[in-house]
């Protein structure tokens, strides 16, 4: 066998896995649609202008190539920025709110050893033009409903509110330079270094302890009570009230039991302005998806508007779903039909018309080979033309001589 490599961080997906991934897409599309989210498709390539508006931090390490005129083009590293661009330009004359969803592959160079694909499939929504706990709750409701509908049983949504910590730093009088060094340790998840940085700041011991407490505060609803004790400014109280209100509304969607509070969650804090969240499943060491409120991004494209959204990594969701028992089989009935290319062509057409899948094989294919072909294509039956009808074989060893009418009946579940 000749070895022809594919780029690092990419993969070929074979029919059985592809069918399952597309099935997850179908389920997500149905849930998104039921909330009125309209699907958009944007170019895989973006210009530097669009990405520069979004900020270097989000695009600095994207794949790039050059266009016909020598201009630099970028492979989109995520979908939120293309949608912000689309809303600011193509939907400029329409009134918000916009409920948009997408199914798209995005690209990021693989950081060595990070367990992440360079090309990955995402499903997500963006709700643009409204800002309230009720709107945040809807988006969380959509997220939970998609995950449950996909058959993911053991998941939790970690939910934080980035304005709570920001308000704490404001009230403690932490300078923007000091903020930078605090955030750097949070990004690296290095609590040892965070402790050292906070220790070195010119703050009261009380404020220092509060910074350490908030960044480690996570758990059930008792977190809200514990956070209340740390409130030392009206803005902190407001952030907490907002979070509690969001949680109450999520509970009315029926998903209170999925929420895990996490006031120490920091996802791109220079970008998210309100709630932030991540999806966890116990079989997986990485989050399956996440999102939050980003009220500043649209203004960079000249159309200020509040926005909230999330992206689910479909590959990761697929791993998490199949980890526990696998996907519900939703395959249609089907047959590998010998001579379906010619002599039995009309029968093949009739079978297809009545909803069965037909995998045609050339004349003279043997029974064993036909059953193997059926199995490889995910079909339960094979059929071979015989004197007086068809020999119908199933994967468990059953064989029966049937008429064409009976064959159609057997495959479509109708009595002949």
Partner 1 sequence: MVASPIPDGGLRLAIPRGNLFAETLDVLAMVGFDVAELRKNDRKLVFEVGPGRTIITTRPSDVPTYVEYGAADAGIVGKDVLMECRRNVYELLDLGFGKCRIVFATPADRDPEAEELRHLGSMRVATKYPRITREYFEGRGKQVEVIELRGSMELAPQVDLAEGIVDLTATGATLRENNLVERAEIAVCATRLIANRVSHKLKANLVDELARRLKEVVRG
Which residues contact partner 1 (rule: CB under 8 A)?
A: 113-115, 154-156, 158, 188-193, 216, 218-222, 256-260, 262, 278, 280-282, 284-287
Q: How near is the Cβ of 194 to partner 1 at its closest, in Å?
A: 9
Residue that is written with structure tokens 């009309």 in the block: 346
**Two tokens, residue 57:** 């931090």
Q: How near is the Cβ of 38 to partner 1 at its closest, in Å?
A: 31
CA distance 60 to 84: 18
State whether residue 313 is helix, strand or coil: strand
For partner 1, the closer of residues 20 and 278 by Cβ is 278
Taken as a whole, the chain contains a residue count of 416
Q: How near is the Cβ of 321 to partner 1 at its closest, in Å?
A: 15
**Two tokens, residue 170:** 């404001």
Q: How near is the Cβ of 317 to partner 1 at its closest, in Å?
A: 14
For partner 1, the closer of residues 191 and 350 by Cβ is 191
For partner 1, the closer of residues 184 and 414 by Cβ is 184
Q: What are the b/e assignments for 171-192, b being 16+ CB within 10 Å?
A: bbebeeebeebbbebbeeeeee
For partner 1, the closer of residues 1 and 192 by Cβ is 192
For partner 1, the closer of residues 125 and 279 by Cβ is 279
Which candidate, 364, 351, 361, places its Cα nearest to that of 382? Answer: 361
For partner 1, the closer of residues 154 and 270 by Cβ is 154
For partner 1, the closer of residues 128 and 260 by Cβ is 260
Q: How near is the Cβ of 378 to partner 1 at its closest, in Å?
A: 30
CA distance 236 to 219: 19
User: CB-hemisphere CA count at 13 Å for 213?
Assistant: 16
**In this structure, what DSSP letter does residue 257 have?**
G
Residue that is written with structure tokens 């649609």 in the block: 33
Quick check: 83 and 125 in contact, CB under 8 A? no
Bridge-partner residues for 124, per DSSP? Answer: 102, 311
Q: How near is the Cβ of 315 to partner 1 at its closest, in Å?
A: 15
**Two tokens, residue 5:** 């490599």
Q: How near is the Cβ of 288 to partner 1 at its closest, in Å?
A: 9
CA distance 4 to 251: 52
State whether residue 274 is helix, strand or coil: coil
State whether residue 358 is helix, strand or coil: strand
Q: How near is the Cβ of 158 to partner 1 at its closest, in Å?
A: 5
For partner 1, the closer of residues 325 and 398 by Cβ is 325
């Amino acid at each position: 066998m000749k070895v022809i490599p594919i780029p690092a961080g990419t993969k070929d997906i074979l029919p059985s896995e592809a069918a399952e991934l597309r099935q997850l897409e179908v389920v997500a599309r149905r849930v998104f649609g039921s909330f009125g989210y309209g699907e958009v498709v944007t170019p895989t390539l973006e210009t530097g202008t669009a990405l520069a508006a979004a900020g270097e931090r989000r695009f600095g390490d994207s794949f790039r190539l050059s266009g016909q005129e020598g201009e630099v083009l970028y492979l989109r590293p995520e979908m939120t920025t293309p949608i912000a661009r689309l809303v600011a330009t193509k939907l400029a004359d329409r009134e918000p709110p916009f409920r948009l969803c997408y199914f798209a592959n995005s690209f990021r160079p693989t950081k060595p050893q990070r367990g992440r694909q360079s090309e990955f499939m995402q499903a997500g929504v963006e709700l643009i033009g409204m800002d309230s706990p009720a709107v945040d709750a809807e988006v969380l409701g959509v997220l939970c409903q998609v995950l449950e509908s996909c058959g993911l049983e053991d998941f939790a949504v970690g939910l934080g509110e980035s304005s709570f910590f920001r308000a704490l730093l404001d009230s403690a009088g932490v300078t923007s330079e000091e903020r930078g060094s605090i955030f750097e340790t949070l990004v690296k998840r290095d609590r040892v270094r965070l402790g050292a940085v906070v220790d070195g700041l010119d703050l009261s011991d009380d404020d220092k302890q509060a910074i350490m407490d908030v960044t480690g505060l996570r758990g059930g609803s008792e977190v809200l009570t514990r956070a209340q004790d740390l409130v030392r400014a009206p803005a902190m109280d407001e952030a907490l009230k907002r979070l509690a209100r969001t949680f109450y509304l999520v509970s009315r969607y029926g998903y209170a039991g999925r929420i895990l509070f996490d006031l120490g969650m920091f996802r791109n804090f220079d970008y998210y302005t309100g709630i932030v969240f991540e999806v966890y499943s116990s079989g997986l060491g990485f989050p399956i998806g996440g999102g939050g409120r980003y009220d500043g991004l649209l203004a960079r494209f000249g159309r200020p508007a509040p926005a909230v959204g999330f992206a689910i990594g479909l590959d990761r969701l697929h791993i998490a779903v199949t980890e526990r028992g696998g996907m519900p089989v939703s395959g249609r009935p089907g047959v590998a039909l010998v001579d379906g290319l010619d002599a039995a062509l009309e029968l093949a057409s009739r079978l297809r018309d009545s909803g069965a899948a037909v995998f045609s094989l050339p004349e003279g294919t043997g029974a064993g080979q036909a059953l193997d072909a059926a199995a490889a294509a995910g079909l339960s039956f094979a059929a071979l033309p015989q004197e007086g009808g068809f020999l119908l074989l199933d994967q468990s060893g059953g064989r029966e001589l049937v008429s064409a009418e009976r064959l159609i009946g057997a495959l479509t579940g109708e009595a002949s």
